[in-house]
Amino acid sequence: MEDLKVFKIGGKVVDDPDSLRAFVKDFAAVKCKKILVHGGGKSVTEMSQRLGIEVKMIQGRRITDGPTLEVVKMMLAGVANKNVVSLLQANGVNAIGMTGADGDAILANRRPVKNGIDYGYVGDVERVSAHTISKLINLNLVPVFAAMTHDGQGQLFNTNADTIASSLAVGLSVYFAVELIYCFELNGVLRSIEDPQSVIQLINSNIYTALKEDKTINEGMIPKIDNAFDALNAGVRAVRIGSAARIGDLTREDMNFGTKIVL
Amino acid sequence: MEDLKVFKIGGKVVDDPDSLRAFVKDFAAVKCKKILVHGGGKSVTEMSQRLGIEVKMIQGRRITDGPTLEVVKMMLAGVANKNVVSLLQANGVNAIGMTGADGDAILANRRPVKNGIDYGYVGDVERVSAHTISKLINLNLVPVFAAMTHDGQGQLFNTNADTIASSLAVGLSVYFAVELIYCFELNGVLRSIEDPQSVIQLINSNIYTALKEDKTINEGMIPKIDNAFDALNAGVRAVRIGSAARIGDLTREDMNFGTKIVL
């Protein structure tokens, strides 16, 4: 099977022009089939405030009421996605911007109210149209996903970008040897949050259990690593977590970039 | 060659939920390969005003300064495009939303300053990547274009939706037998603007010259018909102008829908 790398970048990369430009240059240099998934939460928050829409977050997740969903469409599917796509084009990458509605790529269910929390128009992924996406990739297009899904009934949803990246990675592992790469502001999963060089180079199931027990891994990282293990269990070959500023190193097979997660 | 119909709808259809729903249902029923191009100027104007950005128009064309371009990305590539795509999906059409940057579909040059008028980030179409778009169509995807282009150097442009529709129709006439269909609020090109039934059923070059000379055709219609003739001269089989509310009739070959334009 041919290699496919699924990259996820967060709002801190997308919403900062300099970071985005640096990332895109490195991403363009990655010489294999690839997908990019991006968030853009900061711009959603800023535009919501500018429009007088209350920003509500629970445990880092956005409550997406009707007006907020419109802002997500505006800033994620509109501004962020098109900025990334046009910048990639300028760097020789034939990017095609998508949401889960485009090509029916990612179908989702609205998250049910649980423990009294209604997340609003937030979707939990039901299935990925891996066949259609693989066809696009085989046309040498590079799908660039804004973190949105749809229900097939005309409703769009805000969906966690990490989850979208892992869902795509899993779905496409039928057609490709997939590596899933979470890019963020740190160098990897850190042993000590104060020391940016304290990267844990390898995590497997046993190491993960131990790291959680002694509370080395902070809470914000746990859903990311849980997603990674779900993806590995479902067919993804490898998951890496590392700095968006250093993805150039990814093109070198001999480099240890960030944290590698295996079963 | 296989038939391809390129439809263009304006902001008045896209920005009104009821009109859009009715249009999408009819569009879904059209049984051949197809493309949809949409505007959405009303929502751009409204959001600009809400954000305190001055709206400047010259002869019906928007002056697109930097802040306005961001609003175009938000409302056209974001809200309008994703609403249309998700609604089409709900009606069984495997739509894929695009701008000219996606798949490098439509390359444009920034419109030069002329007679002291600087339109800002407005692009004039340079070329269409008909090959890539034809590949998407042959995957049974239905491209849905927001009226934006790019320069290949990372800059997006606002571009007239009529022009995008005709550029796509011309470019794709290499691969398909293309009919270009402009849908708007009237029943066609009218002999008298007061009488909605006074549709001119057929316009050819001679009739057009006469209609312009006796001022039967109003100014707003002239660029539309000029575009139509350009498209016909460049390989498009037929151009129709008719009501967005009546595109159901288009599926019946024996119906005279709106105004048909031929060389």
Q: According to the 3-state scheme, what is the secondary structure of chain B?
A: CCEEEEEEECHHHHCCHHHHHHHHHHHHHCCCEEEEEECCHHHHHHHHHHCCCCCCEECCEECECHHHHHHHHHHHHHHHHHHHHHHHHHCCCCEEEECCCHHHCEEEEECCCECCECCECEEEEEEECHHHHHHHHHCCCEEEEECEEECCCCCEEECCHHHHHHHHHHHHCCCCEEEEEEEECCCCCECCCCCCCCECCEECHHHHHHHHHCCCCCHHHHHHHHHHHHHHHCCCCEEEEEEHHHHHHHHCCCCCCCEEECC
Which of A245-259, B30-44, B128-142 is predicted with the least confidence, judged by mean pLDDT? A245-259
Asked whether residue B256 carries a pLDDT value surpassing 70, the answer given is: no
* Nearest CB to B74 within list A79, A132, A152: A79
Lowest model confidence (mean pLDDT) among A196-205, B48-57, B164-173:
A196-205
| Per-residue pLDDT tens over the stretch A9-36 | 987 888 888 989 999 999 999 989 999 9
Mean pLDDT computed over A43-71: 94
Whether the CB-CB separation of A99 and A148 falls below 8 Å is answered with: yes
Q: Do B135 and A132 touch (CB under 8 A)?
A: no
User: Cα(first)–Cα(last) distance of chain A, in Å?
Assistant: 20
CB pair distance less than 8 Å for B70 and A86? no
pLDDT for res B89: 98
Q: Do the Cβ atoms of A141 and B154 come within 8 Å? A: no
Q: B8 and B182 in contact (C-beta within 8 Å)?
A: yes
Q: Is the pLDDT reported for residue B125 higher than 70? A: yes
d(CA B218, CA B192): 9
Contact, B108 vs B100, CB < 8 A? yes
| Confidence class for position B238, pLDDT limits 50, 70, 90 | very high
Q: Do A96 and B75 touch (CB under 8 A)?
A: no
pLDDT for B12:
84
Mean pLDDT, residues B237-259 taken together: 76
Which ranges in chain A belong to alpha helices (H)? Answer: 11-14, 17-29, 41-50, 66-72, 81-90, 130-138, 161-172, 205-213, 222-233
Going by pLDDT thresholds of 50, 70 and 90, the confidence category of residue A224 is confident
Q: In chain A, which residue's Cα lies nearest the Cα of B68?
A: A79
Q: Measured between alpha carbons, how far is A211 from A200 in angstroms, rounded to an integer?
A: 10
d(CA B26, CA B251) in angstroms, rounded, equals 9
Average pLDDT over residues A234-248: 88
In this model, does residue B172 exceed pLDDT 70? yes
Residue in the block written with tokens 């970008």: A161
Find the mean pLDDT for residues A201-221.
89
Give me the pLDDT at residue A147, please: 97
pLDDT in tens, A155-181: 999 999 999 999 999 999 999 999 999
Contacts of A82 in chain B (CB under 8 A): 73, 77, 99, 101, 148, 156
pTM over 0.90: yes
CA angle B242, B247, B250 (to 5 degrees): 95
Give the model's pLDDT for residue A256: 63
Min Cα distance A29 → chain B (Å) is 17
> Up-side HSE of residue A35: CA atoms within 13 Å toward CB?
37
pLDDT for B223: 81
Q: Are B145 and B38 in contact (CB under 8 A)?
A: yes
Cα–Cα distance measured from residue A158 to residue A167, given in angstroms and rounded to the nearest whole number: 15
The one-letter code for the residue type at A162 is D
- The residue ranking higher by pLDDT, B92 or A249, is B92
Of A51, A82, A141, the CB nearest to B77: A82
Cα A14 from Cα A108, distance rounded (Å):
24
> Of A243, A215, A102, A166, which Cα lies nearest the Cα of B82?
A102
Smallest Cα distance from A236 to chain B, Å: 26
**Identity (one letter) of the amino acid at B115?**
N
Residue type, A32: C
What's the pLDDT at B219?
80
What would the mean pLDDT of A238-253 be, rounded to a whole number?
Answer: 77
Chain A hits for B152, CB-CB cut-off 8 Å, are 89-90
pLDDT at position B250 is: 61
Q: Which of A134-148, B19-33, B67-81 has the lowest average pLDDT?
A: B19-33
CB contact under 8 A, B78 and A83: no
Say whether pLDDT at A254 is over 70. no
- Contact between residue A40 and residue A75 where contact means Cβ atoms under 8 Å apart: yes
Q: Is 80 exceeded by the pLDDT of residue B251?
A: no
pLDDT at res. A250: 61
Nearest residue of chain B to residue A83 (CA atoms): B154
> Is residue B135's pLDDT more than 60?
yes
- B79 contacts in A (CB within 8 Å)? 70, 73-74, 78
| Cβ contact, residue pair A76, B74, below 8 Å | no
- Mean per-residue pLDDT over chain B, rounded: 92
* pLDDT confidence bin for B247, thresholds 50/70/90: confident
- Which whole number is the average pLDDT over A237-262? 78
Residue B217: what pLDDT? 86
Mean pLDDT value across residues A62-88: 97
pLDDT band at B44 (very low <50, low <70, confident <90, very high): very high
Q: Cβ separation of A155 and B86 shorter than 8 Å?
A: yes
- The CA distance from A104 to the nearest CA of chain B, in Å, is 6
> Is residue A106 a contact partner of residue A113, using CB atoms and an 8 Å limit?
no
Per-residue pLDDT for B263 more than 80?
yes
Taking residues A226-239, report their average pLDDT.
Answer: 93
Give me the mean pLDDT over the B233-246 stretch: 90
Q: Predicted confidence band at A223 (pLDDT cuts at 50, 70, 90)?
A: confident
**The predicted structure's pLDDT at residue A78:** 98
- CA-nearest residue of chain B to A97? B102
Question: What CA–CA distances, in Å, run from B74 to A101, B56, B156?
Answer: 17, 18, 12
Q: Give Rg (Cα) of chain B.
A: 18
Chain A to chain B Cβ contacts (< 8 Å): 121
pLDDT at B255: 54
The nearest CA of chain B is from the CA of A228 a distance in Å of 29
| pLDDT tens track for B173-223 | 999 999 999 998 888 899 888 898 899 999 999 999 999 998 888 787 888
Q: What pLDDT score was predicted for residue A253?
A: 57
Q: Inform me whether the pLDDT recorded for A238 exceeds 70.
A: yes
- Does residue B87 carry a pLDDT above 90? yes
User: At residue A109, does pLDDT exceed 60?
Assistant: yes
User: Mind telling me how many Å the CA of B240 is from chain A's nearest CA?
Assistant: 28
Average pLDDT over residues B153-162: 96
Q: What are residue B260's phi and psi, to 5 degrees?
A: -100, 135
